[in-house]
A and B are shown apart, each in its own frame.
Chain A
């Protein structure tokens, strides 16, 4: 009977779907990405080449893909959730086998001319797979531990592979993103408490097996001033860039820390420091507002969706998006250790831009198909 209720929705005309798209969200995404173009223009000392122009092309292509993803029926995504997850897992395995050395660790895989970072892809597909799993689970089952074992395996497999690359930051992001889905699905509070309670001592234990550079990063995070010319240099210079920006900033293309190269990685991980140096606290808070609006959209969509898959998908992807924003900005402010996490929609980089736009596409898809009722048993 429910199937019949859902049936008429299945074949919405395309024009109606397009009308249903969250054009406000699309606009917000464009505005936020434009902030990124501005910063990349500044990073090239007031030149659209080489970074801003390339980023614009990627964004344009990504935007089209986003819309296609958004218009694709959510049931197709539901069906594809597990296959896509396993493809991403295979790619992660491939990195392990034949990955190219990049950034001191194996993170890239080359498919023809395209370089892909499977760990980025995994951030989406893991959320999809988990949403798919919990979609098919009754609330009673969610409360049984035995039903939690399969999704935990879904998380553990990619987490192990990414940790081996080694990329501690992404591993934690994957786990945290999965946690959001678990939480939204209704897993009991005490289970989270138990996991965190065991994770902390386990973390201390795991610390022994970390790479030297990872240990060093954690230690220097705890006291960056101890090594101002060595590894603490990045955090120090980033804080100087931020602090010296003041309330209104030094002006567009006027940041001394960025333009005299004191600020490291200013196009990628430390782009927020550059923004806050040139536009000050005002600029920083405006970007915060943009992010909060983007997240609000995500939550609103999650709450409007009438099927569990759509809800969990929108919530999980918004959660991952938030984690990116928070960890990147907290990192450049010296609140968390330096982990290579880009600033969403702003940092220079193709894979990250593409995966973000695909996630927004999926979020929008769950809005467009918010009223589609999916029989959990059927899929």
Chain B
């Protein structure tokens, strides 16, 4: 073993060790360079990413605006929803906690199973809803026992509540969850993607959704990688939705719905001067509360298959032949065209011939000799066949349009129907057939192609009653409507539709006699109170044509026919006659006799409207109507 050899070994080792050390130093500088690159050159970028990681923006749902009636009664409000939630990580045994909870409040097996399932799936700190809509009593009972219920927490949410149940389902509508389609069609709003957020799905709730909805607040929170919120960094409160005051009088609405009972019917009551809709009823209805919480498939099917169509708003979307309620329009068309005077008479023999076709009057024996006033009073069909033929369809249609028929009236609801007022051109264009005189005959008594909605008939009646002012219906108080629609200018007073006072008076006299004349078709429903006199007009809409065979064997009385073949009973009226304030239209589907079914309802509704009138007058927000009326009185 020579030391020279050892020295060589040592020298080689030293050389190599230094090479290794140099290599390692180089690699360390690579690391230092990388550190510089990440922490200095790219620092801002990564700092942003770190903030994106930890910060979460949470939306704070605003409180939805309330829908109120004209006196401020809540029609759609937000009810505190007392809920029980369970936080798994705060309890040793979910089952045990649920057992103890069910000693205090009934926990259904389905709920129990759902909670256990979710508890297994979700992260420990995520609250699992156990029960909703607890009563205050249940809520406080759990509250008192909370020390024995680890993991159970109580919280209060807001849910939409309709205290009147089915009463305003068609008018006010309801709210529901945001659907895929809503997301595509509605204006983008981050709130729409908030889990559990509800938007208006129908009626006023839908039409004024944006205003009722309010603006979302935001809360910036710090969250960890598992989504648990650590703390709130900042908070910006949103704006609650605007309250909406309707023109509806909830008390009158309640009365009207109750008065119509089990019928399949609709009614509209409106102020003839302002167009305020005081009541708009469509029965049967449904409970919008069940839509808000989610309706069962079974209940939904039952609603859909009900022959009385509870889901339809018959008041604005139901289109019916107006029947004899159309006769005022025909008479005014004839009077204004100058083809007749109020003294024009016709002889009614129970029918009239047009070529080989026989057109019947509703009264088999005929009315004999009648002038205009009498023929409105007794609703003689032959008289109106005659004057309709004289004036022609196009003039009738033009007059009908002036009274709001055959067009949408711009009510603040979706689904309003236009009805139909045919013209000669219309038939040519749509049916490809020439207009026949027989068509005019049918239109003259509101049958054939003519269709109208209860809302249109109420507007027509209001325009007759207010002396020919083109009043338009509204559901939301004017000043609010302006606010919501951003329409700063003051609403103009309704325009005159340009019908002479004399012609109007001739027709209104006839309507007065309908209720108060000896032979009036609505005589049975007149109001005998001084100053509350009603003027009206009955109407029957044939559901099925009466065949020749039936005429020979004797026409069955409406009540004797199966329900779905019975005629629709209509009635329009206004009161008081001398100083008109309220117009009403009523339709009872398959109600049979207008005089026996529709007229009493119309009369009762007016009576109730008048009874409640002083209250409305006292309410200071009704000044517009009063002012209007005073002006009208002065004009007269």
Q: Beyond A280-B39, A285-B32, A333-B31, is A240–B16 a contact (Cβ under 8 Å)?
A: no
A82 on the interface (CB 8 Å rule)? no
Chain B residues within 8 Å of chain A by Cβ, number:
42
How far, in Å, is B285 (CB) from chain A's closest CB?
Answer: 50
The answer, yes or no, to whether A40 is at the interface (CB within 8 Å) is no
CA A303 – CA B12 in complex, angstroms? Answer: 11
In the complex with contacts A186-B16, A247-B39, A262-B53, A139-B9 CB distance below 8 A: yes
Q: Which B221-274 residues have a C-beta within 8 angstroms of A?
A: 222-226, 230
Q: 8 Å CB contacts to A: which residues of B1-26?
A: 1, 5, 8-10, 12-14, 16-17, 19-21, 24-25
B49 part of interface (Cβ distance < 8 Å)? yes
Q: Is A17 an interface residue (CB 8 A)?
A: no
Known: A256-B50, A260-B222. A184 touches B13 (CB 8 A): yes
Confirm or deny: B197 has a beta carbon within 8 angstroms of a beta carbon on chain A.
no
User: How far, in Å, is B331 (CB) from chain A's closest CB?
Assistant: 77
A299, B39: Cβ atoms closer than 8 Å: no
Binding site for A on B (CB under 8 A): 1, 5, 8-10, 12-14, 16-17, 19-21, 24-25, 27-28, 30-32, 34-36, 38-40, 42-43, 45-47, 49-51, 53-54, 222-226, 230
Question: How many angstroms between the C-alpha atoms of A377 and B6 in the bound complex?
Answer: 13
- Which A residues are in CB contact (< 8 Å) with B5? 138-139
Q: Give 14 pairs: A residue, B residue, CB < 8 Å, sorted on A.
A: A186-B12, A240-B53, A244-B43, A247-B40, A256-B51, A260-B53, A284-B39, A299-B17, A303-B17, A311-B13, A315-B13, A322-B24, A326-B31, A333-B31
Which residues of A (338-379) have their CB < 8 Å from a CB of B?
375-377
Please, how many angstroms separate the alpha-carbon atoms of A330 and B27 in the complex? 10
A117 within 8 A of B: no
Which A positions have Cβ atoms within 8 angstroms of B?
A: 2, 138-139, 180, 183-186, 237, 239-247, 256-257, 259-262, 276, 280-281, 284-285, 288, 291-292, 295, 299, 302-303, 306, 308, 311-312, 315, 319, 322, 326, 329-330, 333, 335, 375-377
How close is B9's CB to chain A, nearest CB, in angstroms? 5
Nearest-neighbour CB distance to chain A for B308, whole angstroms, equals 55
Is the Cβ of B9 less than 8 Å from the Cβ of A308?
yes
Q: How far is the CA of A276 from the CA of B35 in the complex (A)?
A: 9
Q: How far is the CA of A329 from the CA of B39 in the complex (A)?
A: 14
Cβ of B383 to closest chain A Cβ, rounded Å: 82
Closest residue of B by beta carbon distance from A273: B38
Closest to A302 in B: B17
Q: Are B28 and A292 in contact (CB under 8 A)?
A: yes
Q: Report the Cα distance A319→B16, complex, angstroms.
A: 12
* 5 other A-B residue contacts (CB within 8 Å) besides A259-B224, A281-B39: A243-B42, A256-B51, A260-B230, A303-B17, A311-B10
A257 near B16: Cβ-Cβ < 8 Å: no
B40 touching A262, Cβ below 8 Å: no
B35 pairs with A281, CB closer than 8 A: yes
Does A243 lie within 8 Å of B34, measured CB to CB? no
Residue of B nearest to A249 (CB): B39
B48 to chain A, nearest CB (A): 8
Contacting residue for A256 out of B10, B28, B38, B54, CB 8 A: B54
Contact B9 A186 (CB under 8 A): yes
Q: Decide: A183 and B50 in contact? CB cutoff 8 A.
A: no
Say which residue of A184, A237, A245, A375 sits within 8 Å of B16 (CB atoms).
A184
Query: Assuming the A-B contacts A184-B17, A322-B24, are A243 and B45 also in contact, with contact meaning beta carbons closer than 8 angstroms in the complex?
Result: yes
B31 — nearest CB in chain A belongs to which residue? A329
Instruction: Assess whether A247 is in contact with B43, with CB atoms less than 8 Å apart.
Output: yes
* B8 lies within 8 A of A139 (CB): yes
Closest to B29 in A: A288
Q: Are B13 and A186 in contact (CB under 8 A)?
A: yes
Closest 3 A/B residue pairs (Cβ): A243-B46, A244-B50, A260-B224
Indicate if the CB atoms of A241 and B28 lie closer than 8 Å: no
| B31 close to A242 (CB less than 8 A) | no
Tell which of A138, A240, A306, A311 touches B46, judged by Cβ atoms closer than 8 Å: A240
> Smallest CB–CB gap between A183 and chain B, Å?
6
* A185 vs B36: C-alpha distance when bound (angstroms): 36
Q: Which residues of B contact A240 (CB under 8 A)?
A: 46, 49-50, 53
Contact B46 A239, beta carbon cutoff 8 Å: yes
Residue of B nearest to A329 (CB): B31
Which of B38, B40, B47 is most buried by chain A, counting CB atoms within 10 A of its CB?
Answer: B38
